[in-house]
Amino acid sequence: MKAMIKICGLSTPEAVDRAAELGADMAGFIFFEKSPRHVTVSTAAGLAQQARRRGLKTVAVTVDMDDSGLDEIVAQMKPDWLQLHGGESPERAAELKARFGLPVMKAFAIREAADLARIAPYQGIADRFLFDAKPPKGSDLPGGNGVSFDWRLLAKLDEAASYMLSGGLTKDNIGEALAISGAPGVDVSSGVESAPGIKDLSMMDGFVQAVRDADKIRSQEYVK
Ligand SMILES: O=C(O)c1ccccc1N[C@@H]1O[C@H](COP(=O)(O)O)[C@@H](O)[C@H]1O
């Protein structure tokens, strides 16, 4: 089984190129001003065009954004996906899906089993779920905190569930994270950075290689 890979918080042409060369599936661009990964709409539009040309699906990462902000992003960046990383209700997610005709990835902050129950009203609305850790106390960021949660919680999810695992993933823990969770996809941001917001190309290499190594182990286990 080949895990889908999303590399998030890209902000330079070099990092977009490397994500494509490495065979990542999705490139995420952050629209959240407090984030060290925040990009302007015009920067994201240029990088997304480059990413699309190189075969990556592009994701606009937004947090409880209003209609006018979203209109501008969708018109200029033309994302393939909308990631909703705030407290967007099922009704809001459905409204945005219909408004833009785009698939929606809804993020959930997970600490305990009860947090996973919150996905129920989004079934049939969200095209994919994204499971991230709850932000640490005092953090200004709803995501991109480099914090993990207990991956065992995901092992009980329906095998057909479309989701990505995120939160504190690195080349050193991704093998274990995939083995424990069985996640069909992974999303990384700070785990491939040398400093907040600065993507490190060799860390990107290491992360993708570690995912592919884990894929091999998973497919051998499947054959057994
Ligand atoms: O990365 C950010 O700064 C960010 C800001 C606002 C919403 C979401 C954000 N990132 C998401 O967080 C996870 C990755 O976190 P980590 O750094 O690997 O722990 C991923 O889903 C990003 O889309």
- Name the burial class of residue 140, with classes exposed (0-12), middle (13-18) and buried (19+) by CB atoms within 10 angstroms of its CB: exposed
Query: Per-residue pLDDT for 149 more than 80?
Result: yes
Cα–Cα distance measured from residue 194 to residue 207, given in angstroms and rounded to the nearest whole number: 13
Task: Count the alpha carbons within 13 Å of 112 in the hemisphere toward its beta carbon.
Answer: 1
Cα–Cα distance measured from residue 30 to residue 48, given in angstroms and rounded to the nearest whole number: 12
Indicate the pLDDT class of residue 31, thresholds 50, 70 and 90: very high
Distance 33 CA to ligand 1 centre (A): 13
In this predicted structure, what is the pLDDT of residue 219? 83
Sign, Cα dihedral of 75, 43, 204, 112 = negative
Q: What is the total residue count of the chain?
A: 224
Q: What's at 30, amino acid-wise?
A: I
pTM assigned to the model = 0.96
The ligand 1 atom at the shortest distance from the C-alpha of residue 193 is 17
Cα–Cα distance measured from residue 57 to residue 42, given in angstroms and rounded to the nearest whole number: 18
Query: Per-residue pLDDT for 159 more than 90?
Result: no
Helix-helix angle 67-77:90-100, to 10 degrees: 40
- Name the closest-CA residue to atom 6, ligand 1: 143
Q: Are 78 and 109 in contact (CB under 8 A)?
A: no
In this predicted structure, what is the pLDDT of residue 68? 97
Cα–Cα distance measured from residue 83 to residue 131, given in angstroms and rounded to the nearest whole number: 12
Indicate the pLDDT class of residue 170, thresholds 50, 70 and 90: very high
Instruction: Compute the radius of gyration of the chain from its Cα atoms.
Output: 16
Distance 61 CA to ligand 1 centre (A): 8
Cα–Cα distance measured from residue 115 to residue 32, given in angstroms and rounded to the nearest whole number: 24
Q: What's at 61, amino acid-wise?
A: V
The predicted model gives 128-136 an average pLDDT of 97
The ligand 1 atom at the shortest distance from the C-alpha of residue 133 is 19
Q: Which of 35, 85, 163 to mutate to test the pocket of ligand 1 (most atoms within 8 A of CB)?
A: 85
Dmax over Cα atoms in the chain, in whole Å? 53
The set of residues, in sequence order, having a beta carbon less than 8 Å from that of 40 and lying 6+ positions away, is none
- Name the closest-CA residue to atom 1, ligand 1: 144
Q: Which of 29, 61, 73, 84 to mutate to test the pocket of ligand 1 (most atoms within 8 A of CB)?
A: 61
Looking at residue 36, the DSSP 8-state letter turns out to be T
Q: Are 54 and 17 in contact (CB under 8 A)?
A: yes
